[in-house]
Amino acid sequence: MASRRAAIGLIAMGFSTLISIGSAAALDYPSRPVRFVVGYPAGGATDILARVIGQRLSERLGQQFVVENKPGAGNNIGTEAVVNAEPDGYTVLLVNPANYINATLYTKLNFNFLRDIAPVAAFNRTANVMTVSQNVPAKTVAEFIAYVNANPGKVNMASSGNGTSVHLSGEMFMMMSGVKMQHIPYRGAAPAITDMLGGQVQLIFDNMPSIIQHIRSGSLRALAVTTTERSQLLPDVPTVADTVPGYEASALFGMGAPKKTPPEIIAKLNAEVNAVLAEPAIKAKLVELGGDPLIGTPEAFGKMIAAETEKWEKVVKSAGLKVE
């Protein structure tokens, strides 16, 4: 009996030691630079977002959050690098819409995003903008639906690439409104917008930051935003849902970490990200990038990720999309 009690005591001491080691690691964290992996090239809206948040985390925590761009395979190369990294808090991921879409779009992935990445904190949720070229007469979403139906096979929908949130926002619109358009994928938003300006393609559901200057200049026309509420940046532009009830296609961004990252470190990162998001200058920058900050727990972000993954799964399957 005595030996059993001694064994139980040793086990309890072991657990308390593990807990104290974890707490100590969180107190010391970070003691060296943190890799902040972005699955896209430098200079895009996703990269800019990571650098805005990473810079303030560096200043607050006294260690550099170094943005590491790992583009390729529709964001999967960067994600896989984080999945396979040491779960010690020194590698984190810029979570973005491709993570939710690719879970269904790609038939063969070397990871399961929901299983292998731990949610840390949401950053923001941004709108795409349903935008038409000037040679389209429609001024509203209802008029555009009528225009497409009156011109079968003649309306082309541009996107920044197969499987992007820009593409899937359009596929969701077709699924929910019943209209049929030809999808024309481009290698990024810039060449797609060039052809929009030239009238070769008629519609794009582009990200707010890359399209808004063309809307403000009057060279392209915004019909609606894809969020459930109007955007502060385009307050006079209605939502798609005003005409197509239930439509919602915002882009959710945040931070993730390898699955077995200690909860104390995730909690510390979450608290620091939330403190950064609450700063007036950062809030203003996020609004400029297309959406208000989302301050919440890792668990709340995890529920958002699950809901986004489920939503896009329906669209991918409805459109019959797949990437080998």
Supply the CATH number for residue 195's domain.
Answer: 3.40.190.10
Indicate whether 108 belongs to any domain: yes
Q: How far is CA 69 from CA 19, 31, 190, in A?
A: 34, 22, 19
pLDDT at 18: 46
Give me 85's structure tokens. Answer: 């990294």
pLDDT of 122: 98
Q: What is the pTM of this model?
A: 0.88
For residue 25, the model assigns a pLDDT of: 59
Task: Report d(CA 31, CA 253) in Å as an integer.
Answer: 26
Out of 215, 242, 269, a domain closes at 242
Which domain does 202 fall in, by range?
A: 128-242
Cα(137)–Cα(154) distance, integer angstroms? 14
* Domain termination site, one of 195, 213, 242: 242
Residue at token pair 């392209």: 220
Specify whether 114 is located in the same domain as 144. no
- Assess contact for 113 and 79: CB atoms under 8 A: yes
What pLDDT shows up at residue 17? 47
**What's the pLDDT at 45?**
84
Q: How far is CA 323 from the centre of its chain?
A: 19
Q: Residues of the chain whose pLDDT is less than 70? A: 1-25
Distance between CA atoms of residues 237 and 216, nearest Å: 12
Tell me how far apart the alpha carbons of residues 296 and 120 are, in angstroms, rounded to a whole number: 10
Task: Tell me which of 242, 276, 302 is where a domain ends.
Answer: 242
Q: How many structural domains comprise the chain?
A: 2
How much is the pLDDT for 38?
A: 97
- Do 118 and 267 fall within a single domain? yes
- In one-letter notation, the amino acid at residue 93 is L
- Assess if residue 171 is contained within a domain: yes
Where residue 109 sits, what CATH number does that domain have? 3.40.190.150
Give yes or no: residues 261 and 118 share one domain. yes
Q: How far apart are CA 289 and CA 231, in angstroms?
A: 11
Domain shared by 42 and 133, yes or no:
no
Task: Give the chain's mean pLDDT.
Answer: 92
